[in-house]
Amino acid sequence: EAGVAQSPRYKIIEKRQSVAFWCNPISGHATLYWYQQILGQGPKLLIQFQNNGVVDDSQLPKDRFSAERLKGVDSTLKIQPAKLEDSAVYLCASSISTGGYYGYTFGSGTRLTVV
């Protein structure tokens, strides 16, 4: 089974620029998550999709972050404008069930550096 695909692997941008990350979950996984992992910390949920609808975006900084999951398959996370504190690894995960009963599968992540 193919894993969760993410691109790009690395991105360096200047503050106030915009950036977008892409994620393609495992085929058949209805639930998709975006996590932010700051160096030395555990990942923190940004947004959860069930098919193409948002289940939870309570921790997403909506003034600068946006995400969409058109057609309920792949997803894009955007930051505009970026701040220095957005430097982190952005992880995409998917699960076959809404509640994560069978666990979560994570992608390799996108490492963002804002300078």
Per CB under 8 A, the segment of 20-28, 64-72, 76-84, 90-98 that binds other proteins is 90-98
Q: Go through 72-93 and write b for each residue having 16 or more CB atoms within 10 A of its CB, e for each that does not.
A: eeebebebeebeeebbbbbbbb
* Cβ nearer to other proteins, comparing 12 with 55: 55
Residues 8-37, one symbol each (x = binds other proteins by CB under 8 A, - = not), give -----------------------x-x----
DSSP calls for 52-96: TEEEE-TTS-TTTEEEE-GGGS-EEEEESS--GGG-EEEEEEEES
Q: How far is the CB of 60 from other proteins (least distance, A)?
A: 12
**Contact footprint for other proteins (CB under 8 A):** 4, 6, 31, 33, 40-45, 48, 55-56, 58, 89, 91, 93, 95, 98-109, 111
